[in-house]
Structure 1
Amino acid sequence: MGRPFIVTAALPPKIHGWADALRREHYPQERNHLHAHVTMFHSFAPSLYDELKDFLPIVTREFAAPEAYITGIMDLGKGTAIALQSEPLLTLRGLIAEHFHGSLTAQDLYEPRPHITIQNKVTKSEARALQASLVPTIEHRRFSFPALELHLYQDGPWEHIKTCTFRGKERL
């Protein structure tokens, strides 16, 4: 299929800095090629590049920044994430999914549970230990996603292609 495109929701600077520091501290260093992020779509075919780069700015011009809420810690089995709740982000994701209907991979057909991965590919006991230590430290807080980002998968790292800042008035 070639290298796929990935769509993420950008984090505001304070949340990003905090989550990225946790990721740098707890993600296996040899596998940590990415900054903290919220994945919306894991894999768009390279043939969809032009449509993605045209459609994402249309969406972000129309809609206001989706609000989100940090709700705690999420168990990923062999990893740990910061759990998020964001109905507006899921609604936006649904609109994008509908636009690209028929082009989504099996992984992207299902509505995700929004989260920020801070640890992955460790043993279950390592993940449980981190979760137990982080639960009392997680501060529940609200924030808004400032933008959508388009990336190209590069066999590990991602190449940032485009940032589309939310500028619209319509709330989801």
Structure 2
Amino acid sequence: MLRGEKVLLRARRDEDVPVLHADLYDDVEMRSKADGRPWRPIPPGSPASPFTPSAPSDDAAVFSVVRLADDALAGEGLLWGIDPHNRVAHVGLSLRPAMRGGGLGTDAVQVLCRYGFQVRGLHRLGLETLAGNAAMIAVAERVGFRREGTLRQNAWVDGEFLDEAVFGLLAAEWRG
């Protein structure tokens, strides 16, 4: 388990799945903004749920985010696309709606960076988000990510193409 000031990142548990599925998957509009893959109906409890615990893999590290103040499940955080040869990965974070706005996102991304840089020995972390996602952009900038560009009309969301903002952070730049 990885501890920050406000959050704990731990392995996914079976009891996390219905909560994460209801709050982060069943909201079609929000899920479409958070994931580049098209939304499709998946019933709660299905092994196809994106929140179902799976065996550890070399290319992804998936965590449940828990608020330390009360042990409440706050969302999910992950490093994905881990490339051990080039020592790079991407950061992902989704917080349940009731958990947003209290600094948990910044702390969770900081802990993910610590995991990527100190535990995994990565050199670079990337973070991509919709250009209109002001909350995630603020989190990235607070943690020290630099905006590297915009992918114009790169995401198909709810019937339109939207821009994505691309951020990067090098191990030497990280303020851990």
| Greater RCO, CA 8 A, separation 6+ | 1
Report if TM-score (shorter chain) is over 0.5. no
Instruction: Give 1 or 2: higher strand fraction.
Output: 2
Length-normalised TM-score, structure 2: 0.25
Instruction: Give 1 or 2: higher helix fraction.
Output: 1
